[in-house]
Chains A and B, each alone.
Chain A
Amino acid sequence: MADDISLYDRLGGAGAVRAATEIFYRKVLSDPLLERYFDDVDMDRQIAKQTAFLTMVLGGPGAYGGRDLRTAHAGLNGLDDQHVDRVIAHLSATLKELGAADPDIDSVAQVAASVRDDVLNR
């Protein structure tokens, strides 16, 4: 992060991250490549998980379980790097929309990419 204060706090904390999650999730659901993976997903649980994930990548409080992430994605067929890249792109676009600076967005994207192996079960 470019600053001592986390991007999480600079964006406005829990409430702002919750709102960001909805924008992010809307982008994901609008993406033909990703949409099908969310057909049978409980939206509340998904938003809760994605809020926890965003909180983690933005440097907010709390622990985020990577093992959970591995289990959650284990049954999804055909998931590969292009899906992860697309999710990270949506995340970056969300942050851009909320006024985050490019260096911040880059570092968030790096943190998000760090769970790639968990998501792709490697």
Chain B
Amino acid sequence: MRVTLAGQDYELRPGESVLEGMARHGVRLPWVCRAGACHSCLVRVVHGDPGTGSRHGLKDAWRDRGYALACLAHPGSDLTISFADDDSTTPATLLPSRMLSPQVLLARVRPVRPVTFRPGQHVVLQGAGMARSYSIANLPAEAEHDGIAFHVRVYPSGAFSSWLARAAPGTPVTIGAPAGECCYLSTDRDGPLLLAGTGTGIAPLTAVARDALANRHRAPIVIIHGAARPQGLYLDRRQALLEPDQGHGQPAAAAGHRPVRWRACVHSRGGDIAETVAREAAALGDPGRIRAYLCGGPTSVARMRRALFMAGMSLQNIHADAFLPAVRAAAAGRTEPPGTAAPARGRPAS
């Protein structure tokens, strides 16, 4: 199998994805997760069949325009590809940031042109030759005023997160195309919502909750924040629902009148996030009517998902977004094998 890019032919070995094959030939496509979740390795197919799996999870509009994911592309025939259009990333600058807790940075980014996203989606942030996927923590209307907000867990040894924490306002970054389906469905205003996030996984879920409230969601909303230790609970209900953006946006005053339950689950105090979500789901009644949104580390997300599934929820009603371990991005040609992932957390998947 042969892949042609910019007039150059590259041979693929059997079983190799386009991303792997190109990397072996020294062609570095950007990537974060290599699992079809982050959409960093988006390419446009000019000719040939990239394989059925290569468009998994892509928006219809992107499929229609011939895009595919290089990490999932196992072509059935010779393939000609081009780089994804430049319009899939947007130049932006960093706005002043602040720490929400000793470990969590509120980073804000001002794109040069509006980026259309749905609350709960994630984007790839690129800067200083690195790329990470992060969930957006605010709503589009808030982002217009305050920039697009991210809650970033800062690891001392995390290359990207510590760079972001030090970078001066005005530093250029780019924002990839928003992706992910962990989004509120306004067509489903009568079903209970169960939102459970571990660590900074709570960030996109607060956006989903505020979106639901803005859409006058009629059924109960339960938010569960899981943390390894008490200091990991960096947000409280008031911050998450009433003061989303430090005073510029509309405080969600109506929140107090809506049936929102806020629960914390701390592992070091004996809390088990999977048991907690299952218990809260049971309290919401008919599992067939609940819609769940899960974000956080892959193990927690998998355990929560399984617990909810076993509690009778259909997987189709469980929107999960697991943070995958980040690896140094290929954008600047500095790839590392996935096994040596930096401890910073990227985001992906729905």
Contact = CB atoms under 8 A, between A and B. Distances in A.
Interface residues of A, number: 10
A16 interface: no
A22 B310 contact: no
A83 to B, nearest CB: 20
A19 interface: yes
B314 interface: yes
Interface string B274-314: 00000000000000000000000000001001100110101
Contact of A44 (B310, B312, B315): B315
A16 to B, nearest CB: 13
Main secondary structure of the interface of A (DSSP, over half): helix
A30 interface: yes
A29 B305 contact: no
A29 B302 CA distance: 14
A22 B309 CA distance: 8
A43 B309 contact: yes
Contacts of B305: 43
A16 B302 CA distance: 25
A47 interface: yes
Interface of B: 302, 305-306, 309-310, 312, 314-316
17 contacts: A18-B316, A19-B314, A22-B309, A22-B314, A25-B309, A26-B309, A26-B310, A26-B312, A29-B309, A29-B310, A30-B310, A43-B302, A43-B305, A43-B306, A43-B309, A43-B315, A47-B315
Interface of A: 18-19, 22, 25-26, 29-30, 43-44, 47
